[in-house]
Structure 1
Amino acid sequence: MPRPNKRLWFAIPTALLLVAALIPATGCNTGSAVVATYSGGQVLQSEFEKQFHFQRTLLLPDYKESDDNKKSFLNEYITLHKILVEEAKKAGVTIDQTAVSGDIEQYKDQVTNMVFGGDRTKFDAEMKQYKLSDDDVKQLVLDDYYLRAYKTLKTQDVKVTPDEAKAFFDHDPSVFMTGTVSHILVATEDEAKKIKERLAKGEDFAAIAKASSLDPTAKLNGGTMADVSFDSFEDDFRQAAANATVGQISDPVHTVYGWHILRVDKRSNPTFADVQKDAEQKALADKQNAAWQAYYEQTQQNAGIQITLPK
């Protein structure tokens, strides 16, 4: 199924992508103990707790509240929002804040669909529980714009050669495939096996998907993703779709989402010549991501981050 970072403004936790947490709302620092310091500033406990819960609750409900996860979160949060966003502004990056107003509802819709199965009341309840508002979402979107623009600025001199593009294609041709794939998502391997047995007996794929799939979009499309780029799929799902026999029901496939039964209805198998321009663009994006990752890591290393979590 499609990766979350294809649908949301950002994906977390990962240092490579642009945004890993949300920046603080005005006035949330009063009366808090310091939980982290860095060259040029500090993070107070109330700010940290608000942002950690925002990430965990809204985007990663299963994110564990361990000390290691909290420290990882703070390192990313400080590096991205406290340092790199400010660097972007000092480098002359400007964002038209009026342009992001429409993105607030889009973001809320994306999170509602991806995390809460389309139930906006659950999303609103979580926002209310942690005293989050549209201003927090707006600040998130602004941060995303700043970081994307700054990444473009910092990687503008990165180039790729034709040989690098060919090597990128050869490494994983499935990234360039397109096709139509149907799937049913369930929680356990045993459930997936039982669904495969039902399909083998002739039950309708779409009907089972609408009734049983944990993918909320299945109720609308019967589990069918038509004419999609395989590059939008989660890695394990993409490899399964690339190697499955067209028209046949697969064995259970495990991904970060759960267990899938899939059927590839059609699939392209392009050569490098067919997709050379696309390969050059993807190879360039990959090399730019690597350059940005290296800059992120160096920035974090030089930030002098010291974390002291409350007992």
Structure 2
Amino acid sequence: MRSSKSWKVLLVSLAAALSFSMLSACSGNNKKDKEDNSTVIVTYKGGTVTQKEFDTDVKVMKFLSPEQAQYLELDAFKETIVKQEAAFEYLAGQASDKAKKEAEKQADTQLATYKQGLGDTYASSLKEQGITEDEIRSYMVRVLTVYQDMLLKVTDDEVKKQFEATKGDFTVATLRHVLVGFTDANKKERSKEDALKRAKEVKAKLDGGADFAAVAKEYSDDTGSKEKGGLYADTALGTYVEEFKKAAQTLPLNTISDPIETTYGYHIMKVESRTEKMFDQLTDEQKESLKSAVASDKLQQFMEKDLNGIIENINLPKSSASPAPGAGASPSASAPAATQSAK
């Protein structure tokens, strides 16, 4: 089961998806629109964010990630977004020329890809959201500039340290599993109790000597491996969701696991082989993913530790129509969106 990563805060998660999965881009300069006479809502060290700039960025975010739109209307998130908008402007203003040039190049490439993906609906989607292509590109360039600048500052030692901290993610394993999903093959919901009962039935059959491939074809709800007898061959464990990954890292070889719960359901697993990798065995792509992880960590550390220190004043109007976030009102990003997924 493939994993997805999410940011703790909305803007970063959106920026992440845009930068790491390269579906969009971010960069930015801090030049104010000469015709922008709107109220200054944030003052930070070296600059300001106006109401017009904030409104434009929100429209762009809704355009790029419509599934997050409902959260962008909540006051609780608006303050986080505007503070991070100031952070991206601040950091982009300090970025190197090399980072800015690379960001502009990537922004143009990814904007073209985005347009191609939307096809004939691109122009109407822009009109519906009330934004221009230049505004989307400006948003992309700002965020990508920050990301590229962080990336350029990552050292080889930091990449190696990141590898040591996440070494298990690069272990390559061949395994089989049976997924008893919380949703069955007919898209019908299955209770946890029923799923666990069925998973235990699968384990009992396998413990009794049944052929794993045959059982997987009969019981598994994982369409990606069912017809292959539940097989995932020579796959890096870091691609799996956390609970599945941990089990694959630690389960003794050729042993039938107890039911492993993930967001997908219950898994019964058997690891057939497992090979650890050394740093010098990594591909260039894997080393770049480590570098990206270090860069995203640096950005998140800035947001958590330094952001408040650059903010001098916030005057963000409250929305009387803004609903209060409920217990489940928390945006998530999938790999993936500024660390969502580094793929």
Q: Specify the SS of the correspondent of 1:204.
A: helix
Query: How far did residue 42 of structure 1 move?
Result: 1.4
Matched, 1:209 2:225: no
Instruction: Supply the RMSD in Å over aligned alpha carbons.
Output: 5.3
What do the CA deviations read for 1:198-226 (whole angstroms, capped 9, x no partner)? 7456462686323xxxxxx6799897654
Match of 1:176 in 2: 170
Unaligned runs of 5+ in 2: 19-24, 184-190, 206-214, 320-343
Query: How far did residue 179 of structure 1 move?
Result: 2.0
Matched, 1:2 2:11: no
The CA distance in 2 between the partners of 1:18 and 1:264, in whole Å, is 36
Matched, 1:302 2:296: no
Match of 1:236 in 2: 243
Moved more, 49-58 or 12-21: 12-21
TM-score, scaled to structure 2? 0.56
Amino acid aligned to 1:4: S
Give the number of the structure whose alpha-carbon radius of gyration is greater: 2
Q: Specify the SS of the correspondent of 2:312.
A: coil
Matched, 1:19 2:26: no
TM-score, scaled to structure 1? 0.60
Amino acid aligned to 2:44: Y
The CA distance in 2 between the partners of 1:88 and 1:34, in whole Å, is 24
Alpha carbons of structure 1 residues 46 and 138: separation in structure 2 relative to 1, 3 Å: closer
Q: Specify the SS of the correspondent of 1:209.
A: coil
Q: Please tell me whether the aligned partners of residues 189 and 252 of structure 1 are also in contact (alpha carbons under 8 angstroms).
A: no
Q: Specify the SS of the correspondent of 1:159.
A: helix
Matches within 5 A, 1:47-86: 47=56, 49-51=58-60, 53-54=62-63, 57-58=66-67, 60=68, 66-80=74-88, 82-86=89-93
Query: How far did residue 150 of structure 1 move?
Result: 0.5
Match of 1:38 in 2: 44
Alpha carbons of structure 1 residues 283 and 43: separation in structure 2 relative to 1, 3 Å: same
Match of 1:154 in 2: 153
The CA distance in 2 between the partners of 1:135 and 1:276, in whole Å, is 42
Query: How far did residue 268 of structure 1 move?
Result: 1.5
Alpha carbons of structure 1 residues 251 and 33: separation in structure 2 relative to 1, 3 Å: farther
Moved more, 189-198 or 145-154: 189-198
Query: How far did residue 148 of structure 1 move?
Result: 3.0
Alpha carbons of structure 1 residues 105 and 235: separation in structure 2 relative to 1, 3 Å: farther
Unaligned runs of 5+ in 1: 113-119, 211-216
Query: How far did residue 79 of structure 1 move?
Result: 0.9
Alpha carbons of structure 1 residues 242 and 288: separation in structure 2 relative to 1, 3 Å: same
Q: Specify the SS of the correspondent of 1:310.
A: coil
The CA distance in 2 between the partners of 1:177 and 1:34, in whole Å, is 51
The CA distance in 2 between the partners of 1:250 and 1:124, in whole Å, is 52
Alpha carbons of structure 1 residues 224 and 50: separation in structure 2 relative to 1, 3 Å: farther
Amino acid aligned to 1:159: D
Amino acid aligned to 1:174: G
Q: Please tell me whether the aligned partners of residues 11 and 81 of structure 2 are also in contact (alpha carbons under 8 angstroms).
A: no
The CA distance in 2 between the partners of 1:288 and 1:23, in whole Å, is 14
Which structure has more RCO (C-alpha within 8 Å, separation ≥ 6)? 2
Match of 1:214 in 2: none
Query: How far did residue 175 of structure 1 move?
Result: 2.2
Q: Please tell me whether the aligned partners of residues 99 and 149 of structure 2 are also in contact (alpha carbons under 8 angstroms).
A: no
Amino acid aligned to 2:168: S
